[in-house]
Chains A and B, each alone.
Chain A
């Protein structure tokens, strides 16, 4: 669809209407704080302070990304000696162990997806700030992808949780969660919160596609 075609649409906010985020019913937008006529959920034309909150979560996630990758997530003590694994080290160990399909899966979930999320959120936020109308549809799709894959990065944390509880054979072997695990879990949750705070409709708003007909 070309830009001119996209302009033929009328947004609900241009007509003074608000779609309820809980039940989808259209409401007349008032200046006051009000609630949906149908289900009673609080109405918001756009998510409250969407950009500042999204930036804050994204910044926090980016900061946590450093310790998450530098510190070990898992420390194992066996009869053979002590070993520490970082996120990347765990992928390498799986690869060397011969289970390369699983190594690829963990590589995507733990390395590619978190990095992609941080970069993609930055791109979306910057593009809204500069009021870009560049590749609107691709950006809308990017956001959908982001929401879909985000949760799968939690994989490594669950692996650590199970291994730590399972490998409790006093003299033979024990495993402990390393300091990197909390940082990594924080990256996953914070970047999900960043995506959740972001109001996708802003992409269309700032491109001038929602106020004019």
Chain B
């Protein structure tokens, strides 16, 4: 796919145990694992780097939708109540739980946004925002809440829920195909 990938006999240090080893190349569809500790030496789907940008853009569209539409609506005896993710954060804050509101804001909203933003710019190490970005955990939380309420209310999943699902799948795909050594090889132009 690119010239950089044809480099042979590259020397790499395992990020997890520091063992030096030669690898034939960091491209390859096969999974490269450290000879000593078994850690992954490269991004498993790195050969699909050209798909990162379209996936990231699609995920961003879903992210905007997921945050502007209600995730669920409930109905009890003719009364409707709906919430979106920003709505949930605001409500927590209003009801005197600003600490919890802040943590949900950071992990459910800001970290996924930063992760998408950085993928789009592809400039920095992606390890930190990725770990604290919990869109899929939030999704599961929404499902658990639905089951909790299913006994007392009629529950209607909203557009926000489906869009959130899109954010999760597309971000995961984009992140899986982002290959850092390949990125730098391209940036250096070799």
- Spot the interface stretch: A51-59, A119-127, A159-167: A159-167
Assess whether B144 is in contact with A166, with CB atoms less than 8 Å apart: no
- A interface secondary structure, majority: helix
Interface check B88, CB cutoff 8 A: yes
Interface check A61, CB cutoff 8 A: no
Assess whether A19 is in contact with B15, with CB atoms less than 8 Å apart: yes
- Residue in A18, A141, A157, A205 whose CB lies within 8 Å of B38: A141
Assess whether B131 is in contact with A163, with CB atoms less than 8 Å apart: no
Assess whether A17 is in contact with B141, with CB atoms less than 8 Å apart: no
Q: How far is the CB of B39 from chain A (nearest CB, A)?
A: 7
- B35-53 CB contact bits vs A (8 Å, 1 = yes)? 1111100000000000000
- Residue in A26, A140, A160, A166 whose CB lies within 8 Å of B100: A160
With contacts A137-B38, A167-B149, A182-B100 taken as known, whether A201 is within 8 angstroms of B16 at the C-beta atoms is yes
- Residue in B36, B81, B140 whose CB lies within 8 Å of A9: B36
- Residue in A10, A162, A189, A205 whose CB lies within 8 Å of B88: A162
Interface centre among A9, A154, A158 (most CB of B within 10 A): A158
Give chain B residues whose Cβ lies under 8 Å from the Cβ of A185: 99-100, 103
Assess whether A38 is in contact with B88, with CB atoms less than 8 Å apart: no
Interface check B134, CB cutoff 8 A: yes
Interface check B61, CB cutoff 8 A: no
Closest to A45 in B: B18
With contacts A6-B36, A164-B91 taken as known, whether A94 is within 8 angstroms of B148 at the C-beta atoms is yes
Q: Which B residues between 91 and 112 are near A, CB-CB below 8 angstroms?
A: 91-92, 95-97, 99-101, 103-104, 107-108
Give CA–CA (A195, B181) in the complex, Å. 25
Give chain A residues whose Cβ lies under 8 Å from the Cβ of B35: 9
- B136-159 CB contact bits vs A (8 Å, 1 = yes)? 011011101101110110000000
- A174-213 CB contact bits vs B (8 Å, 1 = yes)? 0011000110011001001000100011011100011000
Q: How far is the CB of B109 from chain A (nearest CB, A)?
A: 11
Assess whether A11 is in contact with B19, with CB atoms less than 8 Å apart: yes
Assess whether B79 is in contact with A161, with CB atoms less than 8 Å apart: no
Q: Supply 10 A–B pairs (Cβ within 8 Å), ascending by A.
A: A12-B13, A39-B187, A151-B131, A152-B137, A161-B92, A162-B71, A168-B81, A177-B95, A181-B97, A185-B100
